[in-house]
Amino acid sequence: MSTLVGKKAPVFKANAVINGNDIVENYSLEQFIGEKYVVFFFYPLDFTFVCPTELLAFQEKLPEFEKRDTVVVGCSVDSQFSHWAWLNTEKKNGGIKGVTYPIVADLSKIIAENYGVLAGEYDFDDDGKSVFVGAPIAYRGLFLIDKNGVVRHQLVNDLPLGRSVDETIRMVDALRHFEEYGEVCPANWQAGKDAMTASAEGVADYLSKH
Protein backbone atom coordinates (compact mmCIF):
# COMPACT_ATOMS: atom_id res chain seq x y z
CA MET A 1 0.00 0.00 0.00
CA SER A 2 1.43 3.37 -1.03
CA THR A 3 0.28 6.86 -0.12
CA LEU A 4 -1.68 8.94 -2.61
CA VAL A 5 -1.18 12.19 -0.70
CA GLY A 6 0.12 14.89 -3.04
CA LYS A 7 -0.89 12.91 -6.12
CA LYS A 8 -3.85 13.11 -8.45
CA ALA A 9 -6.73 10.97 -7.25
CA PRO A 10 -7.13 7.86 -9.43
CA VAL A 11 -9.79 8.38 -12.08
CA PHE A 12 -12.69 5.99 -12.52
CA LYS A 13 -16.11 5.69 -14.10
CA ALA A 14 -18.50 3.30 -12.41
CA ASN A 15 -22.09 2.56 -11.57
CA ALA A 16 -23.40 4.36 -8.51
CA VAL A 17 -26.58 5.00 -6.58
CA ILE A 18 -27.36 8.68 -5.99
CA ASN A 19 -30.08 10.36 -3.94
CA GLY A 20 -30.72 7.03 -2.23
CA ASN A 21 -32.70 5.63 -5.13
CA ASP A 22 -31.32 6.42 -8.60
CA ILE A 23 -28.85 4.10 -10.31
CA VAL A 24 -26.52 5.93 -12.71
CA GLU A 25 -23.77 4.76 -15.04
CA ASN A 26 -20.30 6.26 -15.53
CA TYR A 27 -20.28 8.13 -12.25
CA SER A 28 -16.97 9.96 -11.79
CA LEU A 29 -15.32 12.28 -9.30
CA GLU A 30 -13.92 14.32 -12.20
CA GLN A 31 -17.18 16.29 -12.31
CA PHE A 32 -16.12 18.05 -9.09
CA ILE A 33 -12.69 19.28 -10.26
CA GLY A 34 -12.58 23.04 -10.01
CA GLU A 35 -15.89 23.07 -8.14
CA LYS A 36 -15.86 21.08 -4.90
CA TYR A 37 -13.71 19.35 -2.31
CA VAL A 38 -14.42 15.61 -2.16
CA VAL A 39 -14.43 13.22 0.78
CA PHE A 40 -14.23 9.81 -0.89
CA PHE A 41 -14.44 6.90 1.52
CA PHE A 42 -14.44 3.12 1.25
CA TYR A 43 -16.22 0.68 3.52
CA PRO A 44 -16.01 -3.13 3.44
CA LEU A 45 -19.53 -4.36 2.60
CA ASP A 46 -23.21 -3.55 2.51
CA PHE A 47 -25.49 -5.15 5.12
CA THR A 48 -22.77 -5.43 7.77
CA PHE A 49 -22.45 -4.07 11.33
CA VAL A 50 -19.94 -1.21 11.67
CA CYS A 51 -20.56 0.09 8.14
CA PRO A 52 -24.09 1.46 8.66
CA THR A 53 -22.93 3.45 11.68
CA GLU A 54 -20.35 5.18 9.49
CA LEU A 55 -22.60 5.81 6.51
CA LEU A 56 -25.39 7.17 8.69
CA ALA A 57 -22.91 9.34 10.62
CA PHE A 58 -21.69 10.90 7.36
CA GLN A 59 -25.32 11.53 6.37
CA GLU A 60 -26.05 13.19 9.72
CA LYS A 61 -23.18 15.61 9.19
CA LEU A 62 -23.81 16.11 5.46
CA PRO A 63 -25.01 19.74 5.97
CA GLU A 64 -21.66 20.49 7.66
CA PHE A 65 -19.79 19.19 4.61
CA GLU A 66 -22.08 21.03 2.20
CA LYS A 67 -21.52 24.39 3.85
CA ARG A 68 -17.78 23.73 3.47
CA ASP A 69 -18.19 23.27 -0.29
CA THR A 70 -17.51 19.55 0.12
CA VAL A 71 -19.24 16.50 -1.32
CA VAL A 72 -19.23 13.08 0.34
CA VAL A 73 -19.03 9.92 -1.79
CA GLY A 74 -18.95 6.32 -0.50
CA CYS A 75 -17.72 3.17 -2.21
CA SER A 76 -17.61 -0.58 -1.59
CA VAL A 77 -17.07 -3.72 -3.64
CA ASP A 78 -20.81 -4.45 -3.72
CA SER A 79 -22.94 -4.01 -6.84
CA GLN A 80 -25.18 -1.05 -7.49
CA PHE A 81 -28.15 -3.35 -6.89
CA SER A 82 -26.89 -4.30 -3.43
CA HIS A 83 -26.35 -0.60 -2.69
CA TRP A 84 -29.89 0.17 -3.86
CA ALA A 85 -31.38 -2.58 -1.68
CA TRP A 86 -29.45 -1.42 1.40
CA LEU A 87 -30.40 2.20 0.79
CA ASN A 88 -34.04 1.17 0.67
CA THR A 89 -33.92 -0.92 3.86
CA GLU A 90 -35.16 0.69 7.06
CA LYS A 91 -32.59 1.45 9.76
CA LYS A 92 -34.41 -0.77 12.25
CA ASN A 93 -33.77 -3.67 9.86
CA GLY A 94 -30.07 -2.94 9.43
CA GLY A 95 -30.46 -0.63 6.43
CA ILE A 96 -29.30 2.89 5.67
CA LYS A 97 -32.51 4.41 4.35
CA GLY A 98 -32.18 8.18 4.33
CA VAL A 99 -28.60 8.30 3.02
CA THR A 100 -28.59 10.63 0.01
CA TYR A 101 -24.93 11.05 -1.00
CA PRO A 102 -23.60 8.87 -3.86
CA ILE A 103 -22.41 5.32 -3.24
CA VAL A 104 -20.16 3.87 -5.93
CA ALA A 105 -20.20 0.20 -6.93
CA ASP A 106 -16.74 -1.36 -7.24
CA LEU A 107 -17.71 -4.94 -8.02
CA SER A 108 -14.48 -5.44 -10.02
CA LYS A 109 -12.42 -4.18 -7.03
CA ILE A 110 -10.34 -2.07 -9.41
CA ILE A 111 -11.18 1.23 -7.72
CA ALA A 112 -10.21 -0.12 -4.28
CA GLU A 113 -7.01 -1.55 -5.74
CA ASN A 114 -6.09 1.74 -7.44
CA TYR A 115 -6.64 3.64 -4.19
CA GLY A 116 -4.49 1.10 -2.33
CA VAL A 117 -7.20 -0.06 0.10
CA LEU A 118 -8.01 -3.55 -1.15
CA ALA A 119 -7.56 -5.92 1.80
CA GLY A 120 -5.77 -8.56 -0.23
CA GLU A 121 -4.30 -9.22 -3.66
CA TYR A 122 -4.48 -11.53 -6.62
CA ASP A 123 -1.82 -14.24 -6.84
CA PHE A 124 -1.26 -17.69 -8.34
CA ASP A 125 -1.44 -21.04 -6.56
CA ASP A 126 0.95 -23.96 -7.07
CA ASP A 127 -1.06 -25.04 -10.12
CA GLY A 128 -0.75 -21.64 -11.74
CA LYS A 129 -4.38 -20.75 -11.16
CA SER A 130 -5.35 -17.22 -10.19
CA VAL A 131 -6.41 -16.92 -6.55
CA PHE A 132 -7.19 -14.06 -4.20
CA VAL A 133 -5.12 -13.93 -1.03
CA GLY A 134 -6.66 -12.00 1.86
CA ALA A 135 -10.10 -10.44 2.05
CA PRO A 136 -11.64 -9.37 -1.30
CA ILE A 137 -13.09 -6.21 0.24
CA ALA A 138 -11.86 -2.70 0.98
CA TYR A 139 -10.30 -1.43 4.17
CA ARG A 140 -11.93 1.66 5.67
CA GLY A 141 -10.02 4.09 3.48
CA LEU A 142 -10.80 7.81 3.34
CA PHE A 143 -9.38 10.42 0.95
CA LEU A 144 -9.79 14.20 1.03
CA ILE A 145 -9.42 15.49 -2.52
CA ASP A 146 -8.98 19.19 -3.25
CA LYS A 147 -10.57 21.17 -6.08
CA ASN A 148 -7.62 20.38 -8.35
CA GLY A 149 -8.24 16.66 -7.97
CA VAL A 150 -5.22 16.13 -5.70
CA VAL A 151 -5.35 13.95 -2.59
CA ARG A 152 -4.46 16.08 0.46
CA HIS A 153 -5.35 13.70 3.31
CA GLN A 154 -5.50 9.91 3.50
CA LEU A 155 -6.64 7.61 6.28
CA VAL A 156 -6.88 3.82 6.21
CA ASN A 157 -8.41 1.85 9.08
CA ASP A 158 -8.52 -1.91 9.49
CA LEU A 159 -11.92 -3.55 9.06
CA PRO A 160 -13.11 -3.45 12.73
CA LEU A 161 -12.18 0.19 13.33
CA GLY A 162 -14.79 2.84 12.54
CA ARG A 163 -13.79 6.38 11.61
CA SER A 164 -14.50 9.78 13.16
CA VAL A 165 -16.66 11.97 10.96
CA ASP A 166 -15.81 14.98 13.13
CA GLU A 167 -12.11 14.42 12.41
CA THR A 168 -12.88 14.37 8.69
CA ILE A 169 -14.62 17.74 9.02
CA ARG A 170 -11.59 19.05 10.94
CA MET A 171 -9.34 18.03 8.05
CA VAL A 172 -11.58 19.83 5.56
CA ASP A 173 -11.43 22.94 7.77
CA ALA A 174 -7.64 22.71 7.99
CA LEU A 175 -7.22 22.42 4.23
CA ARG A 176 -9.58 25.33 3.59
CA HIS A 177 -7.80 27.46 6.20
CA PHE A 178 -4.40 26.78 4.65
CA GLU A 179 -5.66 27.58 1.15
CA GLU A 180 -7.32 30.82 2.28
CA TYR A 181 -4.72 32.20 4.69
CA GLY A 182 -1.50 30.34 3.86
CA GLU A 183 -1.15 29.34 7.52
CA VAL A 184 -0.39 25.78 8.59
CA CYS A 185 -2.48 24.03 11.22
CA PRO A 186 -0.81 22.63 14.36
CA ALA A 187 -1.78 19.58 16.39
CA ASN A 188 -5.42 19.43 17.47
CA TRP A 189 -6.19 22.63 15.56
CA GLN A 190 -9.88 23.52 15.28
CA ALA A 191 -11.58 26.06 13.03
CA GLY A 192 -11.47 29.49 14.65
CA LYS A 193 -8.29 28.73 16.60
CA ASP A 194 -4.83 30.17 15.96
CA ALA A 195 -2.76 28.66 13.17
CA MET A 196 0.83 29.58 12.35
CA THR A 197 3.14 30.53 9.52
CA ALA A 198 5.47 27.85 8.20
CA SER A 199 8.67 29.37 9.58
CA ALA A 200 10.82 29.13 12.70
CA GLU A 201 9.53 32.52 13.77
CA GLY A 202 5.93 31.46 13.19
CA VAL A 203 6.35 28.32 15.28
CA ALA A 204 8.05 30.24 18.08
CA ASP A 205 5.30 32.85 18.09
CA TYR A 206 2.58 30.21 18.20
CA LEU A 207 4.26 28.26 21.02
CA SER A 208 4.82 31.43 23.05
CA LYS A 209 1.05 32.02 23.05
CA HIS A 210 0.11 28.47 23.92
Point out the residues that are catalytic. Answer: 51
What element of type H or E holds 171?
A: helix 165-181
CA angle 137, 52, 89 (to 5 degrees): 105
**Distance from chain centroid for Cα 53:** 15
| Residue ranges in 12-90 assigned as alpha helix (H) | 50-60, 62-66, 80-87
**Sign of the dihedral through C-alpha 196, 7, 157, 97:** positive
Check if the beta carbon of residue 157 is closer than 8 Å to that of residue 164: no
Q: Is 11 helix (H, G, I), strand (E, B) or coil?
A: coil
Instruction: Round to whole Å and give the CA distance between 135 and 153.
Output: 25
Q: Please enumerate in sequence order all residues whose Cβ is within 8 A of that of 183, keeping only pairs 6 or more positions apart, or say none.
A: 177, 195, 196, 197, 198, 202
Q: Is 104 helix (H, G, I), strand (E, B) or coil?
A: strand
